[in-house]
Amino acid sequence: MYRVLYRKWRPQTFEDVSGQPHITATLKNELLSGRVAHAYLFTGSRGTGKTTCAKILSKAVNCLEPVNGNPCNECEICQGIDNGSILDVIEIDAASNNGVDNIRDLRDEANFTPVKSKYRVYIIDEVHMLSTGAFNALLKILEEPPEHVIFILATTEVHKLPATILSRCQRFDFKRISPEDICKRLQFVAEKENLTLDDDAAALIAKIADGALRDALSLLDRCCATSDKITADIVTKSAGLAGRDYLTKLSHCIIEKDCAKALGIINELHINSCDMERLCSEFMFHLRDLMITKTVKNADEVLICTEDELAQLKSLSSEISLEELLYSLNIVETSLSDIKRSTNKRIPLEMAFVKMCSEQLDSGNEALLKRIASLEAKLTSGDFTVKTENKVSSAAVQPKEETKPVENIQTKVEEKPKVEKITSPIEEPTPTESVSNNGEAVPFQNWAEVIDELKKTDMPLVGILNGASAYVRDNFLLIKSDNPALSTFIRKDLHASFLSKAIVTVTGKQYKIGLYKQPEKQSSKDPLEGLIKKIEDFKNS
């Protein structure tokens, strides 16, 4: 019978285990020094070597002729453990044997001495599935085990184990296997199986496996059924991936805000039987790669990709802002959770792209911050465009008196006027200016001039103040606006400083800045009369 690759090439010695040198070295030293513990706990994500190390350890402690802490794999005991004829090494699946009666039977059986081996070894896989009663039954024998018994517990969810179990075991944490170690092991297996595995294909398999070597070997097994020469395209088809070209096209749809094109691509992938959950996960990791490329100087040390893919990521990341990347990542991650719970996995993904391509639909803080960041970028570059149905026209603001060349406008934007510090006594407002009247707020008549002065230094704040008005009360200048973002902007030292300088430049007087609150209107009518009227209206109705 054909044996799958991950079973056929399961490591037989500690040296063969990939990516866990901190664990294999410790176990070998314990075996060489004779300091073998009675209970071990192996934790870590799937496919990282927990069960493999447990089987190697069970052979090493019973091997008749061990070699530097490793089992010889040739003696009667080693071969008997491999083929299952030695019954002194018992592997138990706690997912299906999780009752208290199962553990009681194990505890009674453990009192008997081994038949052929030196130790009776119990490997309990997925130990976190045991019930509370089963844990209590296991606790006593873990505390005072017979000298000939060794327990090896393996789990992917160590947080579910009681503290009383954890304190009685020697714990080893298995890390996710690095992409380099996975690629190295894949090339070794491919050579033994007479397969040709391209470096790009091996790197892609390692990326899909996400630190699990068993998953990588299982995917390599699927690729073998297609061809003996395994390329990145074969890996993409075997894994059901969308491919880099579709990911790039979807990214451009977000940049260009082309919702219809994005939905068309998703529809095409759906027709071709592409799994929507896998596509969403793949696009999320693609956005993560763009984020790393944009923020990390040496991105090639973090990402798993070829030089061509890295160049493409750098080119694509230069066209999208970091705020938009983080916003899109948040939406895609949320959609991935929704897809897992949805009956129709296509709809949440389509909703995600509609939101990313039409950010005005989202009124959340992250969407608003992204739109503000986009506006600031346009203000900095001076590139304003207004999209219409037929054409894209320029919307640059020019003086009314005469049309000036673009060069003059650019120079005007770059040259910021200097506001000199006022050392002379501040002059009082002229009678034509706004003057407070008995502590009441009166309109500030120089507000338009302040806005014109502010345009020279702080255009983002000018956009926030669009439609706002101002009032003066005593030494306070109160701004009235319906924009909820004004409160956040005005509290920032930079924006507050620019506004204060603009006011001083126009009026020659320094005001304290605040927000205008509409005074509550007091009714002269007796509230009891209104209540009586409501009661009478209710009786008549």
Q: What is the pTM of this model?
A: 0.57
Q: Give me the sign of the Cα torsion angle 15, 17, 20, 24.
A: negative
**Which of 433, 508, 427 is closest to 472 using CA atoms?**
433
Residues 6 or more apart whose CB falls under 8 angstroms from that of 534 comprise none
What is residue 393's predicted lDDT score, i.e. its pLDDT?
41
Tokens representing 46 are 């799937």
What six digits make up the tokens of 233? 């395209």
Distance of CA 294 to the CA centre of its chain: 15
The confidence score (pLDDT) of residue 380 equals 65
DSSP conformation letters of 35-74: ---SEEEEE-STTSSHHHHHHHHHHHHH-SS-BTTB--S-
Helix (H) or strand (E) holding 494: helix 493-507
Domains, the chain, with CATH or none: 5-173 (3.40.50.300), 179-239 (1.10.8.60), 244-377 (1.20.272.10), 442-515 (3.30.300.180)
Contact 123, 154 (CB under 8 A): yes
What are 195-228's pLDDT values in tens digits? 888 888 888 888 888 888 898 999 998 888 888 8
In contact, 392 and 386? CB cutoff 8 Å = yes
Asked if 4 and 193 touch (Cβ cutoff 8 Å), the reply is no
SS3 of residue 541 by DSSP: coil
Report the pLDDT value the prediction gives residue 270, as an integer from 0 to 100.
86
**CA separation for the pair 172, 164 (Å, rounded):** 17
- CA angle, corner 32, sides to 26 and 35, nearest 5? 75
User: For a pLDDT cut of 70, what percent of the chain falls above it?
Assistant: 79
Question: Which of 155, 179, 174 lies closest to 165, judged by CA?
Answer: 155
What are residue 111's phi and psi, to 5 degrees? Answer: -70, -20
Spell out, as residue ranges, where the chain has pLDDT lower than 70. Answer: 1, 240-244, 306, 359-371, 373-439, 518-541
The string of pLDDT tens digits covering residues 324-336 is 888 899 999 999 9
Percentages (nearest 5) of helix, strand, coil residues in the chain: 55, 10, 35
How many other C-beta atoms lie within 10 A of the C-beta of residue 476?
14
Of 495, 506, 492, residue with least CA distance to 422:
506
Integer angstrom CA distances of residue 517 from 44, 443, 469, 514, 520: 58, 13, 12, 9, 9
